[in-house]
A and B are shown apart, each in its own frame.
Chain A
Amino acid sequence: MPDTFFTATPDWGWLVVGYLFIGGLVGGCFFLAAMLHLAGRPTDRPIVHAGYVLAMLGAMIGGILLVVHLSQPLRFWHMLVQSNTGSPMFKAWSPMSVGSWGFAAFSLFATVAAVGAWAEARHPGSRLSSVARRWPGAVIAAVGGALALFVAGYTGVMFSVTNRPLWGDSAWLGGLFLSSAAATAAALLAIIASWRGGGQHATLQWLQRIGAAALVVELLFLVAYVVSLGAAARGLAGVWGWALGAVLVGGVLVPLVMQSSKQATHGNPRLFMAAALVMVGGFLLRTVIVFSSSAIHVSGSGVHGL
């Protein structure tokens, strides 16, 4: 039996699944928006704004989920400040420690970017709007985009840096989570672009293309993940293995085929279906990763949940 099977499970349930999904989704949204901001053109701006506003909202919801999942929520700040000395708390080798700082910084950048987006969309003549369009806006996009990628990926690395079955048994969860985050974000922004109509046609096409690229990367990491599990893959026998199979087929392969067969146009139900499948698949992926491992735990003289 793999060594990781002799461990106990943290009580990480739906709040953590929710954070993993929303954090990945909005990290991806900010990253895609930042790319369109820095290398796109004016017609992309509505989607840039949508990405930034979603990032801010998601950072707020994600932050609440992170705090509430603690068994001592009022001590959430202990992640950032040493409670006994008042000095900063930081461990470069602990993904949760680095993640706490990264997520806090991302939330800040997402909020500033969302304020800029609001000014640009609602008060185009304002001074704030022109600042958002010039270099300060670009700096926010560039630094925030890097932080967004970090937020989309660090959770996977955090799960790999444990001794739990199906988490610590593979080093590939970081790449898997990041690519899935980018795919779900491209899907969500594609739905928004589709709703907004003709003006966003070129943006929609780009979102579909990068969404497909992210799905291909996700497919590769999903296969690499399962292969790297080795003997620990027995933990996926049963319902969680089937659920992971459903992610592979319904959340990755089917949307890829649906998108590649024909360029979807606005309001096309096929586009909406493919995007919805990608998002449901992204949520199910995180559900499987969290709960499949939690089902395995030691009790008495043996390991239960197999």
Chain B
Amino acid sequence: MAQAMGFFTDTSVCIGCKACETACKAWNQLPAKDGGKPPMTGDSYDNTARLSGEDWRHVKFIEQFDEDRTNGRWLMMSDVCKHCVTAPCLEVCPTGAIIRTEFDTVVIQSDACNGCQLCIAACPFGVIDVNPVSKTAEKCTLCYDRLQAGMKPACAQACPTDSIQFGPITQLRQTAAARLTQLHEQGEKRASLYGADDSILGGLNSFYLLLDKPQAYGLPAHPTMPTRNLLWGSLSSAAAAVIIGVAGLLGLRARRLNEQAGQEKAPDA
């Protein structure tokens, strides 16, 4: 396997320009929504609303302001597939369409996917959606085609502030740790890393430097594998089956005994 590659997204330098969104759509030939009509979400400068089959990058705008807007700050974050090391989508996919590549990234093979959408329900980050043209589940491929040609992913190439950095995971983790130290030394104590170690789903190959709690960015604090419920879910089902089955058989046995008793009594009557 080639080296594990990924993204380190430093949200502290994101300026919300959406060059990543545009570059991603252009390179991956993703369709426009509603025939290209300008969407109005009414949610800050966010006109993409969410990651979807048509948008594999989504810049979030989080406005943290006082009531009178005298104090406050903007949080901006370019959201994308996290390319989890233990990926819930890959785990549950019943067709084998979702694979792990030689770059340790997670890719959905569109020609194998039949659109059951279980991966959408499994993803803890709300990343996957059905693309209306291919009618299959789609998401960021970490530009698998570009990686195979030795190129940077389109979004990282386009990012003008290096908020999105691409490279080998080991190197990115060192860069992130150094940046975190720098921010802490400058007094930005709220800065933290999200997914830069193995604690979240074995590590996120697309990890973040955040300036607030993960939830403020719409990220789950402790995402887990869906199979955490497999054992107890199966046991609950089996328990119900055993109880109802035994009740049914006991009922049939009682009926047979009653009938036998009735037949024995009958000659005396």
Q: Which residues of A contact B (CB under 8 A)?
A: 1, 3-4, 6-12, 31-32, 35-36, 39-41, 70-73, 75-76, 78-79, 82-84, 89, 91, 93-97, 100, 149, 152-154, 156-158, 160-164, 167-168, 170-179, 182, 202, 205-206, 209-210, 213-214, 217, 221, 297-303
Against A, the Cβ 8 Å flags (1 = close, 0 = not) of B108-133 are 01011111111011111111111000
Tell me whether A302 and B218 are in contact (CB under 8 A): yes
Tell me whether B94 and A97 are in contact (CB under 8 A): yes
Q: Which chain B positions have C-beta within 8 A of A76?
A: 114
Given contacts A35-B252, A221-B240, contact A72 B136 (CB under 8 A): yes
Tell me whether A160 and B114 are in contact (CB under 8 A): no
Tell me whether A177 and B123 are in contact (CB under 8 A): no
A-B contact count (CB 8 A): 243
Tell me if B147 is interfacial: C-beta within 8 Å of chain A: no
CA distance A34 to B183 in the complex (A): 68
Interface of B (DSSP majority class): mixed
> Which residue of chain B lies nearest to A202 when distances are taken between CB atoms in the complex?
B255
Interface of A (DSSP majority class): helix
Given contacts A6-B126, A70-B116, A95-B230, contact A175 B244 (CB under 8 A): no
CB distance from A224 to the nearest CB of B (A): 8
CB pairs A–B below 8 angstroms (28 shown): A3-B124, A8-B127, A79-B116, A83-B95, A91-B94, A93-B227, A94-B118, A95-B233, A96-B94, A96-B116, A149-B241, A153-B241, A157-B229, A160-B232, A162-B122, A163-B121, A163-B124, A171-B233, A171-B236, A173-B236, A205-B255, A209-B247, A210-B248, A213-B248, A213-B251, A301-B61, A301-B217, A302-B218
CB distance from B113 to the nearest CB of A (A): 7
> Which residue of chain A lies nearest to B41 when distances are taken between CB atoms in the complex?
A300
Tell me whether B94 and A71 are in contact (CB under 8 A): no
Against A, the Cβ 8 Å flags (1 = close, 0 = not) of B227-243 are 10110111011111101
**Which among B42-50, B167-175, B184-192 touches the partner chain?**
B42-50
Q: Which of B15-43 contact A (CB under 8 A)?
A: 41, 43
> Which residue of chain A lies nearest to B60 when distances are taken between CB atoms in the complex?
A301
CA distance A7 to B124 in the complex (A): 5
CB distance from B73 to the nearest CB of A (A): 13
CA distance A104 to B232 in the complex (A): 24
